[in-house]
Amino acid sequence: MNAPVPPPTACGGIDLHQEHGQRAVFCGLTGIVWLHRKIQDAFFLVVGSRTCAHLIQSAAGVMIFAEPRFATAIINERDLAGIADANEELDRVVTRLIERRPDIKLLFLVGSCPSEVIKLDLSRAAQRLSGRLNPVRVLNYSGSGIETTFTQGEDACLAALVPDLPRESDTAAPSLLVVGALADVVEDQFLRIFAAMGIADVRFLPARRAGAMPAVGRGTRYLLAQPFLADTARALEERGARRLPAPFPLGAEGTTGWLRAAAEAFGISDDTFEAATAPGRARAETALAPLRGELGGKRVFFFPDSQLEVPLARFLARELGAELVEVGTPYLHRGHLAAEIEWLPAGTRVTEGQSLDDQMDRCRAARPDLTVCGLGLANPLEAEGLSTKWSIELLFTPVQGYEQAGDLAELFARPLRRRALLEV
């Protein structure tokens, strides 16, 4: 940590820095908390330590009490004594789990730091168990902190699904695939807009049920709904699918750009596109207008968390007139974020990676009006007099699309409004 910061590299018109050191981020296991809500007949079994179980419990909050479809197989000393023993133990735990939850159709064995470090081969375990538990499908991916940061857990999960997706024949008509877990209500809104544009065959990855996962083939054109899906995109390309380069559907402008990418790929006329998107754009404008006064000119600092930081910063800067002090991101995928980087105000400082204490020093020195950060930092920064927006909410709240543009801005405006309201 505290390694010398490499000199800025040019990337679009932004001021890009890379930083190494202590990182205050979640590991990929956290993705389970929203993924299990999305795929309604899947179960996520973490193979890890008590720390992993404690992490998910802490991140899931009250959800832990709702008979959720996730659990941890805690490795103990006996498992560490010999790997063969650990495999038998895993089979026993999984068998018991499936007996207790016969409604489960898809089981993910989720790797953790301990299981990766002892090299417990979960992919072989998944194959073995798939054969034995047929028709329950068993897949595996890693959500370990050594390999994944927060939302990358979703990337790893979806990438694990891709080889398993049904094969679309090469002669099938082009279809549109939307990739990245979205709230059901957002999916339905997008479906209506695509239908109005005349794109009928729209599929989602992940689907809401294990048995309804979309087919993929050479005719598949996919739109990333989330910026953190590097491995999933690679796996889809290997299946012959082609990515439609686009900004991300955050804010009215992002949503329009995202939808336009699909419209262009499917040869939709400008008139049809206008007709399909105009009502949404108008509503988003109505919702955003009153918030410009509150957020316009406000100086915003992003700590790295989810890789959503760049599109969110773009939205705040361009649609609400905020100023960007620093945009931290755990990882910057130059290709997938090309349109976003293009849209960021020239000279925006983007920091990839983190050295926590140094970044906090910069934040304190800049004294931004609003700091977007994780829950471990939010209260300490508030106590120093800085307004914060805790970032995890941006993952759990529906924020994509026209209808949510106002809600998204509201998430950033509320802490500022609250600070103004409080007299004591």
Partner 1 sequence: MQLTLWTYEGPPHIGAMRIATAMTGLHYVLHAPQGDTYADLLFTMIERRDARPPVTYTTFRAQDLGRDTAELFKTSVAAAYARFQPQAMIVGASCTAELIQDDPGGLAKALNLPIPVIPLELPAYQKKENWGASETFYRLVRALAGAPGARAAREPGRRPLCNILGPTALGFRHRDDLIEIRRLLDSLGIDVNVVAPLGAAPADLGRLKDADFNVVLYPETARSAAEYLKKSFGQPFTQVVPIGVGGTRRFVEEVAALAGLDPAPVLDGPGSRLPWYSRSVDSTYLTGKRVFVFGDATHAIGLARIAARELGFKVVGLGTYSREFAREVRAEAAELGLEALITDDYLDVEAAIRAAAPELVLGTQMERHVAKRLGIPCAVISAPIHVQDFPARYAPQMGFEGANVLFDTLVHPLMMGLEEHLLGMFREDPEFHDGVGPSHLGGTPVAAPPPQAAPAPEAAPAPIHLDHPVSVAVAPWAPEAEKELKKIPFFVRGKARTNTERFARERQLPLITLETLYDAKAHYGR
What is the contact surface with partner 1 in residues (CB under 8 A)? 1-3, 22-30, 47, 49-51, 53-55, 57-59, 62, 64-65, 68, 70-77, 79-80, 86, 89-90, 92-93, 96-97, 113-114, 116-118, 144-147, 149, 357, 374-380, 382-383
Residues β-bridged to residue 221: 176, 242
| Closest separation in Å from C-beta 80 to partner 1 | 6
For residue 203, the 8-state DSSP code is E
CA distance 85 to 89: 6
| Closest separation in Å from C-beta 326 to partner 1 | 19
Q: Are strands 370-373 and 299-302 parallel, antiparallel or unpaired?
A: parallel
| Closest separation in Å from C-beta 333 to partner 1 | 17
| Closest separation in Å from C-beta 281 to partner 1 | 38
| Closest separation in Å from C-beta 95 to partner 1 | 11
Q: Which is nearer to partner 1, 375 or 416 (CB)?
A: 375
Radius of gyration of the chain (CA): 22
Determine phi and psi for 349, rounding to 5 degrees.
-80, 115
| Closest separation in Å from C-beta 310 to partner 1 | 20
Q: Which is nearer to partner 1, 74 or 215 (CB)?
A: 74
Residues β-bridged to residue 371: 301, 388
The residue behind tokens 């490795």 is 75
Q: Which is nearer to partner 1, 86 or 409 (CB)?
A: 86
Q: Which is nearer to partner 1, 100 or 166 (CB)?
A: 100
| Closest separation in Å from C-beta 44 to partner 1 | 11
Q: Which is nearer to partner 1, 25 or 312 (CB)?
A: 25
The one-letter amino acid at 105:
K
Q: Which is nearer to partner 1, 26 or 266 (CB)?
A: 26
CA distance 1 to 155: 27
The residue behind tokens 């543009």 is 405
Q: Does 135 sit behind a cis peptide bond, omega within 30 degrees of 0 on the bond before it?
A: yes
Q: Which is nearer to partner 1, 188 or 357 (CB)?
A: 357
Q: Which helix (H) or strand (E) holds 154?
A: helix 152-161
Q: Which is nearer to partner 1, 50 or 192 (CB)?
A: 50
Give the Å distances, CA to CA, from 29 to 23, 153, 412.
16, 6, 26
Total Cβ atoms within 10 A of residue 211:
10
The one-letter amino acid at 114:
P
| Closest separation in Å from C-beta 112 to partner 1 | 8
CA distance 324 to 414: 18
| Closest separation in Å from C-beta 214 to partner 1 | 30
CA distance 424 to 421: 9
Q: Are strands 9-11 and 14-19 parallel, antiparallel or unpaired?
A: antiparallel
Q: Which is nearer to partner 1, 99 or 170 (CB)?
A: 99
CA distance 168 to 166: 6
Q: Which is nearer to partner 1, 213 or 378 (CB)?
A: 378
| Closest separation in Å from C-beta 373 to partner 1 | 11
Under a CB-based contact definition with an 8 Å cutoff, are residues 52 and 76 in contact? no
Q: Map residue 43 onto helix, strand or coil.
A: strand
Q: Nearest to residue 210, comparing CAs of 136, 277, 159?
A: 136
Q: Which is nearer to partner 1, 187 or 305 (CB)?
A: 305
Under a CB-based contact definition with an 8 Å cutoff, are residues 284 and 409 in contact? no
Q: Which helix (H) or strand (E) holds 388?
A: strand 388-390
| Closest separation in Å from C-beta 73 to partner 1 | 4
Tally DSSP H helices, then E strands, for the chain.
17, 15
